[in-house]
Amino acid sequence: MKKIVIDRPRCEGHGLCEEIAPDLMHLDDAGELILDVEDIPEGSPELTDAGAAVRVCPVAALRLA
């Protein structure tokens, strides 16, 4: 099992992660990132999306642990 981790102070709400992985995370009305799914099973399609979200964050505020 992998976990998506946000570096909260670093997140500025660019929202590129939401565009690429809308089933896993979204920005709320205040522009704060909410993780709808945190624990991601190894080998799942969600893991591919989570990896893409991590990769696309322009300020490196997301990681998979």
Partner 1 sequence: MNRSTPASSDTDLFADEVVIDPYPTYAELRDLGAVVHLPANDVYALTRYDVIRDALADPGTFSSRTIGFNSVVNEALQGTSLASDPPIHTELRATLSENLSPRALRGLRDQIHTKADALVADLVARGSFEAIDALARAFPLEVVADLIGFTGEVRDNMLRWGQAAMEVIGPMNQRTAENFPIAGELYGWCTGVRAGDLAPGSVGRGIFDAEDRGAIPSGTAGHIIHQYLGAGVDTTIAALGNIVALFSAFPDQFDLVRGDSALVPAAFNEILRFWAPVHAWGRSVTRDVNIDGTLVPAGSQVAILFGAGNRDPRHYENPDAFLVQRNPVDHLSFGYGPHGCAGQGLARLEAHAVIGALAVHAQRLVAAEPVRLPSNITRSIDALEILKVVPA
Cβ proximity of 5 and 61 under 8 Å: no
**Close Cβ partners of 55 (under 8 Å, ≥ 6 residues apart):** none
CB of 51 to partner 1, least distance (A): 12
Give, as ranges, the residues between 22 and 61 that touch partner 1 (CB under 8 A).
27, 30-32, 55-56, 58-60
Strands 25-27 and 33-35: antiparallel
Cβ proximity to partner 1, 1 vs 30, nearer residue: 30
Residue numbers at the binding site for partner 1 (CB under 8 A): 9-10, 12-16, 19-20, 27, 30-32, 55-56, 58-60
